[in-house]
Structure 1
Amino acid sequence: MDTTIDIFQGLRPRLFGIAYRMLGVRADAEDIVQEAWLRWQHGGIDAARIPEAWLVTVVTRMAIDRLRGAMLERERYVGPWLPEPLVEDSAESPEAALEAAGDISTAFLLMLERLGPEERAVFLLHQVFDFGYDEVAAMVGKTEAACRKILQRARERVRAERPRFAVGREQHLALLARFVEASRSGEAARVQELLTEDVSYMGDGGGKAKTTVRAVLGADRVARLVVGIERKWTDRGHHQLIEVNGAPGLLTWRDGQPDSVTSLEIREGRIAGIYVVRNPDKLGSLPKLAGRPQSS
């Protein structure tokens, strides 16, 4: 028979996956999972008829409360807000895979920003984690009818932005390599060939690192921006291939320090979104990746 520790550890990736998708901040998600563990030890073990349902309920409700406060903070955020990149040494790590349940891409997490806390919880629990309406209702403290209405409203709000095409890893890697090569060529036209017409570039500096203060839109403008940035820093840095939110991405080193994490949104074989996190508060877990040989 599994011990209580075994039960919790077996569910931990799912609990983290829910909390991270709700909040987009790794440290906050880990805090919530740790708090769930403490509650599990102090009364939860005896109260839980179904351990998974009990623990998911605890994590979901804490995440809803935490998100309400976070949304107010994000209204005062300097420049675009991007989720903290979930960077792992290997795509096989438990937290990177998040039990392979649904999408954890930056584009998907940004899409969720259109939803309020309860909408986000209902959407994730039903659409991503496959809980039934009766289970979701119990987890968020609503009736089944209310959850159905909430989910319908959430679907309408995100339908136009949901990723429509799955991108294979090899295709993603190949396009990423071409993007780096084109950026370093100094020729904006080469970069532009890889972009969709409506491509967007978003940089998150949080007021602590220099980047764009708003999203840059359009293939021509984005291509010129990317080439300009690369030209400025070519002699002082290099790119390292890493796993970012379950897909290939780039860790950029400048002057020997982690400077940014870049992830791409790909649509029909072209780059539709470029997301660059430079806020040092969101790069705290990156030094452990130093010295990896995969760089360009």
Structure 2
Amino acid sequence: MLGSHSDAEDAVQETWLRWERNGPESIDNLGGWLTRVIGRICLDALRRRTTRGESSLDAWLSEAIVDEDDPTPEQNATLSDSLGPAMLIVLDSLRPEERVAFVLHDMFSVPFAEIAAVIGSSEAAAKMAASRARRKVKDTPPPSGELSQRRAVVDAFLTAARLGDFDALLHFLDPGLTWHRSNARGHMVRMGANEVLAAIRRGDPDRIEVRKVNVNGEPGLLVLTASGHRLGLMACTVADGRLVGIVSITSRKLLERLRLPGQ
């Protein structure tokens, strides 16, 4: 719902406090009561984010686990509940009511009558909110294949970029690729493989170092200067053997919040 472990913990804690204040003996349907209360808490949190111009991607980055090697079994247990950056961006594009309705219904099978009580609407309006969200979400392809296979695609993409082999790059880039860029000026979206190719042509691979990393369990790339200064982080979404989504972060403020391997 919130895309952030810390925000989720805050929502659960607030729900627990309200449950204690209300008195469990006065609640006839505990499951329904909990769903309604925590749903409203999440809805309020999403509305505050919208007002302040914040995003789930910012929270995702601040909590990101960046590893050079494959995640440990303990990390895998945590990462199994993590959403990828491309999905978080799509969820952030939804209105708070749409996001809440979609998550409650499509992920937890909560009836629309209960969802309507959470978002303060009619049952028909709740159905429409979930439907609008569903149409946006289905256009974002999820990762497919084993992690080792997705890693191999990103590694091959990196090799082709270093060699300037643009024919090979086109093989690994989906024509409809979505490239989200977060820098000091804000967030921008570019569509299509040609946008990535143009950026690679402008680059100078001899002046940077690229380290292969996993970002929240998905293949990524960390770009550094020769002296080790952070320039950018890429999180990649691979489906059917091609890169279908890239989120690149070059904002110095965001990069400084990263905890990198060896730190």
TM-score between the two structures when normalised by the length of structure 2:
0.75
Structure 2 CA distance for aligned equivalents of residues 58 and 96 of structure 1: 26
More deviation in 89-98 or 103-112? Answer: 89-98
- Determine whether 1:291 maps to 2:254: no
Superposed displacement of residue 43, structure 1: 4.3
- Determine whether 1:170 maps to 2:141: no
**SS of the counterpart of 1:214?**
strand
**SS of the counterpart of 2:188?**
coil
Partner of 2:199: 225
Superposed displacement of residue 45, structure 1: 5.5
Q: 1:151 aligns with which of 109, 121, 130?
A: 130
Superposed displacement of residue 31, structure 1: 4.1
Structure 1 CA distance for aligned equivalents of residues 222 and 24 of structure 2: 41
Partner of 1:96: 79
Map 1:50-129 onto structure 2 (within 5 A).
53-74=32-53, 82=57, 84-85=60-61, 87-88=64-65, 90=71, 92-93=74-75, 94-98=77-81, 104-129=83-108
Partner of 2:171: 193
Partner of 2:2: 19
**SS of the counterpart of 1:87?**
coil
Structure 2 CA distance for aligned equivalents of residues 188 and 230 of structure 1: 15
Structure 1 CA distance for aligned equivalents of residues 98 and 143 of structure 2: 24
2:104/2:115 contact within 8 Å kept: yes
Structure 1 CA distance for aligned equivalents of residues 5 and 252 of structure 2: 14
The letter for the 2-side match of 1:279 is S
1:194/1:270 contact within 8 Å kept: yes
- Determine whether 1:130 maps to 2:130: no
Q: What are the superposed Cα offsets for residues 164-193 of structure 1, whole Å, 9 maximum, x if unpaired? A: 773332221111111222222244443233
Structure 1's unaligned 5+ residue stretches are 1-17
1:81/1:204 contact within 8 Å kept: no
**SS of the counterpart of 2:213?**
strand
Identity of aligned residues (%): 28
RMSD: 3.6
Structure 2 CA distance for aligned equivalents of residues 29 and 230 of structure 1: 41
Q: 1:262 aligns with which of 214, 217, 234?
A: 234
**SS of the counterpart of 2:235?**
strand
More deviation in 184-193 or 267-276? Answer: 184-193
Distance 1:265 1:285, change over 3 A: same
Distance 1:40 1:174, change over 3 A: farther
TM-score between the two structures when normalised by the length of structure 1:
0.68
Distance 1:248 1:164, change over 3 A: closer
Q: Which has the higher contact order (CA 8 A, sep 6+)?
A: 2
More deviation in 197-206 or 46-55? Answer: 46-55
1:265/1:273 contact within 8 Å kept: yes
Structure 2's unaligned 5+ residue stretches are none
